[in-house]
Amino acid sequence: GLGLTNKKDENFGEWYSEVVVNGEMIEYYDISGCYILRPWTTSIWETLHEFFDAEIKKMKVKNCYFPLFVSSTVLEKEKDHIEGFAPEVAWVTRSGKSELEVPIAIRPTSETVMYPYYSKWIRGHRDLPLKLNQWCNVVRWEFSNPTPFIRSREFLWQEGHTAFATKEEADEELALSPLHNSSSLSSHYQSSSSAFLDDHFLYVLMALNHRFHVFQFQYSAVLQILELYRRIYEEFLAIPVIKGKKSEAEKFAGGLYTTSVEAFIPNTGRGVQGATSHCLGQNFAKMFEINFENEKGEKAMVWQNSWAYSTRTIGVMVMVHGDDKGLVLPPKVASLQVIVVPVPYKDADTQGIFDACTATVDALNEAGIRADTDFRDNYSPGWKYSHWEMKGVPLRIEIGPKDLANNQVRAVRRDNSAKIDIPRESLVEQVKELLGNIHQNLFDLAKQKRDACVEIVKTWDEFEAALDKKKLILAPWCDEEEVEKDVKTRTKERLVPGGGGGAAKTLCSPFDQPELPEGAREIGQEKNGYSVLCFGKAS
């Protein structure tokens, strides 16, 4: 029948695969890790593209397009940049029957494609800042379990690559300002790190406590982009995310520091990286000799940032909002926000009902609401209800003889199944309000679920105890690589009844810092103007 055979809370992986197929977002492809993106998906990608593209253009970023292919000489020129990634690189080795002289890689990311030309184009300070972005696909031949949208061998993304004359422009000095606890997590913080537990990894959100100040990053180019990623998740996909800084071990190795927005999947207790914005410092300028003559006539190296979000955003949306009836689309990204279904009755005025449906759709479309009728005569109203619920359309409107007689429509919300009778004369504004309420409700529910998974710990024992409960753990953190590795090994060996075990991996250090927990051990020297707390220091 129409319904799902898998339940979200029973077998999440199978539920997810079934929902993206039955919702007509994805079609599986005969090459593992590759998926067909159907219109129900591409319309979401287009909405996010429209928002983000307009915003980066306000920042004077220009779009471009570099080739898909990278010669091996160029790709391997930067050994350290791609070391560790080599197994993921896909290669073209022949055309037709003849082997290629030099194997050609398919871009897994475009630093090695673009930066030799940055070096060529950037000569003097007047050539800066250079701000380019490209919307493209990338290929990473991953072997761990492929998952539509979340981990696929080819995916769509945007990659922004900016170059500046000075550090300040790239990274802007931290502007000191009093902490304002606007954070969605602040109400839960006592301590300062958190971990996501899942089958393989715990994700530790650590926080670097700045004893003297909590830095409020302002105007930094890196964080302007990160804010756009937050907006994509919270304002369009109704998903709460945590903004933070990656640990030394988890950051983009080629960069100076990495910031990210982190989402959370309650069903797996797993954190998922939503998007990243890096400050690269001058590392790539050194690697690719991207120099320029500065205003004083001296030779200087540029400062760079790079940033990306991908179709992974759509997978997170499915995982967070979907339910056992199928997809649940946040209204802002729903290509169809309202489906109008006629409910004719044997001797009732069928034509009148159909006309009322058409008039309803026209009125909604007139007001900029994406609405359509389902007049198919080969399906029953009941079948149509299930079908459009599976596809996650936020609002259904039914018009039957009674509605016609009362000059009203019956609206049914997809998020909470509430039924609302709306008089025709207030149709548009009530539907607009309903769509806004649906977005807010989806966000609030997701935030409640995430916050309910937050556990605060101050000692190693509490940390381990919380691990077993698939929690998101907040604990003080020292951000020392060897400690991070040690936490990973110490937690990897743990075997927990019920399979809750798993190694701990850090996720990010949230910018929204809590107060220092009293009594938390403060180990670690002054670093970059703030002291850090050590968590679970390997004794």
Ligand X SMILES: O=C1CCCN[C@@H]1CCCn1cnc2cc(F)c(F)cc2c1=O
Residues interacting with ligand X, by CB under 6 A? 82, 85, 88-89, 108-109, 140, 159, 252, 276, 278, 306-308
Cβ 130 to ligand X shortest distance, Å: 15
Cβ 159 to ligand X shortest distance, Å: 4
- The token pair that represents 431 in the structure block: 């539907």
Q: Strands across the sheet with 62-63, in order?
A: 62-63, 130-139, 154-164, 303-310, 270-281, 257-265, 242-245, 509-510
Cβ 140 to ligand X shortest distance, Å: 5
Dist. CA 43–CA 38, nearest whole Å: 9
Residues forming beta bridges with residue 162, ordered by sequence position: 131, 305
In degrees, to the nearest 5, what angle opens at C-alpha 210 toward C-alphas 209 and 215? 115
Cβ closest to ligand X, residue 132 vs residue 357: 132
Cβ closest to ligand X, residue 152 vs residue 276: 276
Cβ 61 to ligand X shortest distance, Å: 13
DSSP 3-state of 70:
strand
Cβ closest to ligand X, residue 109 vs residue 267: 109
Task: Please give the C-alpha separations between residue 378 and each of 50, 90, 162, 357, in angstroms, as whole numbers.
Answer: 36, 47, 55, 17
Please enumerate in sequence order all residues whose Cβ is within 8 A of that of 372, keeping only pairs 6 or more positions apart, or say none. Answer: 336, 338, 339, 340, 361
The dihedral region occupied by 136, where left means phi > 0, alpha psi between -120 and 50, and beta the remainder, is beta
DSSP letter assigned to residue 233: I
Cβ 306 to ligand X shortest distance, Å: 4
Cβ 151 to ligand X shortest distance, Å: 12
Cβ closest to ligand X, residue 201 vs residue 307: 307
Cβ closest to ligand X, residue 278 vs residue 387: 278
Cβ closest to ligand X, residue 192 vs residue 306: 306
In degrees, to the nearest 5, what angle opens at C-alpha 330 toward C-alphas 373 and 374? 10
Residues forming beta bridges with residue 204, ordered by sequence position: 195, 506
Cβ 248 to ligand X shortest distance, Å: 15
Cβ 307 to ligand X shortest distance, Å: 5
Cβ closest to ligand X, residue 306 vs residue 531: 306
Cβ closest to ligand X, residue 15 vs residue 252: 252
Cβ 278 to ligand X shortest distance, Å: 6
Dist. CA 128–CA 134, nearest whole Å: 18
Dist. CA 401–CA 23, nearest whole Å: 30
Buried b (16+ CB within 10 A) or exposed e, 304-336: bbbbbbbbbbbbbbbbbbbbebbbbbbbbbbbb
With CA atoms as reference, report the closest residue to 188 among 422, 460, 455, 476.
Answer: 455
Dist. CA 246–CA 423, nearest whole Å: 52
Cβ closest to ligand X, residue 89 vs residue 520: 89
Cβ 330 to ligand X shortest distance, Å: 25
Cβ 105 to ligand X shortest distance, Å: 8
* Dihedral angle sign, alpha carbons of residues 510, 512, 518, 522: positive
Cβ 311 to ligand X shortest distance, Å: 14
Contact 371, 411 (CB under 8 A): no
In terms of Cβ atoms closer than 10 Å to its own Cβ (0-12, 13-18, 19+), residue 526 is exposed
Cβ closest to ligand X, residue 140 vs residue 384: 140
What is the phi/psi pair of residue 266, to 5°? Answer: -55, -35
Cβ closest to ligand X, residue 227 vs residue 323: 227
Cβ closest to ligand X, residue 252 vs residue 385: 252
DSSP 3-state of 363:
helix
